[in-house]
Amino acid sequence: MKKTRLISILTALSLSVSVLLCGCNDGQQGGGDVSDNSQSSSSSSSSSSSEEMPAEPAGLTEIRDMTTMELVHDMGQGINLGNTMESCGNWINPDGGVRAYETAWGSPIITEKVIQGYAELGFGVLRIPVAWSNMIAEDYTISEEYLARVTEIVDWTLNSGMYAIVNIHWDNGWFANFPTEKEECMKKYTRIWEQLSEAFKDYGDKLMFESLNEEGGWDSLWNRYSGSTDGKADSYGLLNEINQTFVDIVRKSGGNNEKRHLLIAGYNTDVDLTCDEMFQMPDDPADHCAVSVHYYTPSTFCILEEDASWGKAKATWGDEKDIEELNKYMNMLKERFIDNGVPVIVGEYGVAQKNKTEEQIVNFMCTATEAMYDAGLCPVIWDTQKSFYDRLSYQFLFPEMLERIMESRDAHK
C-alpha cells in the first residue's frame, strides 16, 4: 500500500495542479541530532517493503456501513503526533526540506517503528496535525515532498491498524487574517483541501479529515470577555461558513470522499463556546460528521507551568470543585451533541508537566479520560516527544496512566 499510494498521490497532485506547548527555542534545540533516526527510518522502510505484508486491516480502501457515531466509538483511545508535521516558523530554513520542519520543534524523525509503537500500546487513533503552508508555492500548491512525507506517516498509521486524523493546524497563524482578508484566505483554504481531497480520495474510512485546529474564532470580531455580543454573530458565522466550505469541497471531490467521515472544528475548540447555539454543524448529504473540541481546563493547571499575567499556575488538581467543573463540561457536550446524534472527539487534552508531580499528572489525565468515556466522547491525548510517549524508545512514560486509561476504554466498549 505504501509505495503504490505514494506514487498515485504524487501523480494526482501533479495532474490536478500545474498546485501549545512548544516554543521556537525548544524547537531549535531539538532539530539537530537526527542522523541516526533518519538511517533507522530508511532501513525500516527498506526492510518492511521486502517482507510479506500482513492482511490489510479493514477500512483502508472502503467506506464501511457504519454511522459516524459507531466509527468514533471504534477509535477507542487516541493520541496526537504533536510538534511534528505542524511545526512551523519563519526561522526554519526551507533548504533543509521536510526534515527541517519535522524536527524543528523537538521531534526526532518519525519512523514506522514510532507509529507501530503507539498501536502496540493500545492506541486506536493517531491525530496528525499538519502545517501545509510549509514549503507551499505562491499559488498555494502544496509541496510534493511535504505531501509525500505526510502520506507516508498516514500509511504507516493505517497499516498499524489505527485510524488517522489529518487537519490544517495553526500553520503559522494565517487563519487570523480571515476577517480582513477573507477572499484570499478562503482561496488558500479551498486550494489546500481540494488538493488533499484529491490525494486521499481512494483511502478508506480509517482516514478522517479535520476542518481546522482551534483557530476558528476571532477576537477582532468578538471577544468573549468584552461583556458585549457585538460581532459575535459575525465571528460564529465565519467559522460556520468555513466548516461548510470544507464539507462541500470534500464531498464534491469524488471517490470515497463522498462518504468520508469528517471532523468539524468547534468554536476555538472551546467546550463552552462550541456548545453555544450560534455554532452550527454544516449541512452534510452523507450525514458523516463529528465535532472536535479541546480540553485544557482549568488552564491554570493544564497550561501554566509558572505564573502569568492572566493567571496563577496550579500544581494540584482534583478537589470537589475541580471534579464538578469537569463533569459540567462533559455533560454540556453530551447534551448538546451526543444526545442529538453528533459524535464528539476531544482532539486534544493534556497537562504541562514541569511544575507538577507524576501523581497529579496521572490523576488529571485518568479522571478526565474516564469522564470523557462516561459522556460518550473519544479522548485524544496531546502528546509531543517525551510528554507521554518516548519516540526513541517507543515506551509510554507513565505506565500507571496507560493502564488506567486503557481500562476505561475497555469498560466503555
User: Has residue 36 been placed in a domain?
Assistant: no
Contact status, residue 338 vs residue 377, Cβ threshold 8 Å:
yes
Residue-wise pLDDT for 289-348, tens only, equals 999 999 999 999 999 999 999 999 999 999 999 999 999 999 999 999 999 999 999 999
Q: What is the mean pLDDT of residues 72-97?
A: 98
pLDDT score of 393 more than 70:
yes
pLDDT score of 21 more than 90:
no
pLDDT score of 6 more than 80:
no
pLDDT at position 409, please? 98
pLDDT at position 43, please? 38
Query: Of all residues in the chain, what percent carry a pLDDT higher than 90?
Result: 85
pLDDT at position 55, please? 63
pLDDT at position 327, please? 98
Q: What is the mean pLDDT of residues 12-40?
A: 37
User: Has residue 384 been placed in a domain?
Assistant: yes
Q: What is the mean pLDDT of residues 116-140?
A: 98
pLDDT at position 331, please? 98
Residue 52's pLDDT band (cuts 50, 70, 90): low
Which residues are part of the catalytic machinery?
214, 348
Residue-wise pLDDT for 242-274, tens only, equals 999 999 999 999 999 999 999 999 999 999 999
- Distance, in Å, from the CA atom of 45 to the CA atom of 124, rounded to the nearest integer, reads 22
List of E strands, 44-143: 78-80, 125-128
pLDDT at position 58, please? 78
pLDDT at position 59, please? 78
pLDDT at position 71, please? 98
Q: What is the mean pLDDT of residues 66-84?
A: 98
pLDDT score of 188 more than 90:
yes
- Cα dist. 142→195, 253, 254, 268 in Å? 8, 17, 20, 25
All cell numbers assigned to 39: 538511517
User: What is the pTM (predicted TM-score) of this model?
Assistant: 0.87
All cell numbers assigned to 202: 481512494
Q: What is the mean pLDDT of residues 197-206?
A: 98
- Peptide bond before 399: cis, by omega within 30 degrees of 0? no
DSSP letters for 140-188:
-PPPHHHHHHHHHHHHHHHHTT-EEEEE---GGGGGGGTTTSHHHHHHH
Q: What is the largest CA-CA distance in the chain?
A: 63
Q: What is the mean pLDDT of residues 78-104?
A: 98
pLDDT at position 41, please? 39
- What phi, psi does 347 have (nearest 5°)? -70, -15
User: Has residue 41 been placed in a domain?
Assistant: no
User: Has residue 231 been placed in a domain?
Assistant: yes
pLDDT at position 191, please? 98
Amino acid at site 88: C
pLDDT at position 399, please? 98
Specify the CATH number for the domain of residue 204: 3.20.20.80
User: Has residue 264 been placed in a domain?
Assistant: yes
Beta carbons within 8 Å of 373's beta carbon, 6+ residues apart = 379, 408, 409, 411, 412
pLDDT at position 82, please? 98
Report residue 123 CA to chain centroid gap.
14
Residue-wise pLDDT for 221-246, tens only, equals 999 999 999 999 999 999 999 999 99
pLDDT score of 173 more than 50:
yes
- Cα dist. 218→34, 221, 223, 266, 320 in Å? 38, 5, 8, 13, 33
User: Has residue 43 been placed in a domain?
Assistant: no
Counting the structural domains of the chain, the total is 1
pLDDT score of 288 more than 70:
yes
Q: What is the mean pLDDT of residues 64-75?
A: 98
pLDDT at position 39, please? 37
DSSP letters for 283-332:
P-TT--EEEEEEE--SHHHHT-SS-BTTBPPP----SHHHHHHHHHHHHH
- Span of 17-26, 134-143, 199-208 with lowest mean pLDDT: 17-26
User: Has residue 115 been placed in a domain?
Assistant: yes
Residue span of the structural domain in which 201 resides: 2-31+65-411
User: Has residue 204 been placed in a domain?
Assistant: yes
Q: For residue 272, how many other CB atoms are within 10 A of its CB?
A: 15
pLDDT at position 54, please? 56
